[in-house]
Each structure stands twice: as C-alpha cells, then as structure tokens.
Chain A
Amino acid sequence: MVSSPLSDFLRSYLTVAIFGSLGFILVGLLLFISYLVRPNRPQPQKYLSYESGVDPVGSLWSQSQIRYYIFALLFVMFDVEAVFIFPWATRVEAYGGFGLVEMFVFIGVLLLGLVYAWRKGVLKWA
C-alpha cells in the first residue's frame, strides 16, 4: 500500500495520541472498577484538609516566594536556548567552525545572564 509522507507523518502522531490518551483511559478504567467495589462512608471530619490532625491554622492559601519565580524565569530562558541548540546539534558538522562560533556566542550571551543571576545572589536562599 502506498502512502504519502503526509499520511505517514500524521499516522505516527495518531499513534502517539492514542498512546497518550491511554493515560486517561487507564485512570478512568481503574476509577470505574474502584467505583464498583469501594465503600463510601462519610464522616464529618473526613473532608477536612489534613493538617497533622488539627484545625487548619491561618489562611489556607499562601504565597510562595519570588525565588521560585526567578528559577522558573531562568529555566524558560535557557529552555528557549536549548530549543535553538537542538537543530544546530544535528548539523554541527555541516556548519563547521563558523557554526561553532555562532553557537558559542549564543550560549555565551545567555551564560552572562546566569552569571548575572549568580552574582546577584538570586540563586541562593540566604
């Protein structure tokens, strides 16, 4: 059977999608079986948040720290960098020294950001 690149391409991703949805299907299936056999016994305190056995103290909601945000930010930037590295990595040989220099400059510039963050002490807690 002849198949065009298009159908091959999409077909392989269809498989991926099927397999990916398995996660949901499996969870659903397990939940259904469990639904058949599990007990349900409401107790007044069962639905309280667990907090080591006492009433939740203070507001349930809290703010996390900006530290996390900066880490996430750094991550995003470097992730973007990685995105550009990958295509380059497949073709390193073809570009030769020129490509190398280009990429090193690219990496170097972003490393400056890391160094900046480092020097600013945002990578540390204390």
Chain B
Amino acid sequence: MLLTQFLLLAAILFSIGVYGVIVRKNGVLVLMSVELMLNAVNINLIAFSTYHGLGGQVFALFVIAVAAAEVGVGLAIVLLIYRNRRSVDIDQLDELKG
C-alpha cells in the first residue's frame, strides 16, 4: 500500500468537509462536516505514524479526545441557538452581528 493513497483519501474527505462547512447552514450539519475534516486529519496522522513511530497514533488519540470535546460544546451551542431562535440556522446568526 502506498502512503499517498491514504493521504489522498484524507484530502478528499477534508475538501468534502470544507464544502460542507461552507454550504450547510444547519448547525449540526456544519459540525458533522467539521468532524469529516478532523477524521481526514486523523487518517494522515496514522498514516505518517507508520514512518515516525507511535507519536502519530498518540496524537490521533488526542485529536479524537479534542474532537469529542468540540462536538460536545459545539452541539451545546447549537442547542443554545435553537433554544433562543427556534432554528438551528447558523447563517442567521450573522444578522445578530450587524
């Protein structure tokens, strides 16, 4: 197996995630897209760890932990938005800024 194939797969996932983050306006879906990107990163980390020792795996573990925290807080924020605005549409939040 080539290293590149994993990296390319990760790249595809990452760019799909990017697309999702840009296009989706439902907060939960945006978080899912972020999750896609994080996982792409994880694939990279693991793939590289075949070269550079277990450090990559440890990092991936940390990323998973961070991702868990991120989803937790992110979803809590989405719920907050929903509670206040009866919608999970994060694009509408812009109106608040103005």
Contacts and interface: CB of A to CB of B under 8 A. Distances in A.
A and B touch in the complex (CB under 8 A): yes
**Chain B interface residue count: which class?**
10 to 19
Interface string B42-66: 0000000000000000000100110
Contact residues of B: prevailing secondary structure:
helix
A80 B65 contact: yes
Interface residues of A, number: 9
A73 B61 contact: no
A73 B76 contact: yes
Contacts of A73: 72, 75-76
B68 interface: yes
B64 A83 contact: yes
A77 B72 contact: yes
A50 interface: no
A83 B58 CA distance: 11
Interface in A66-115: 66, 69, 73, 76-77, 79-80, 83-84
5 contacts: A66-B79, A69-B76, A76-B68, A76-B72, A83-B64
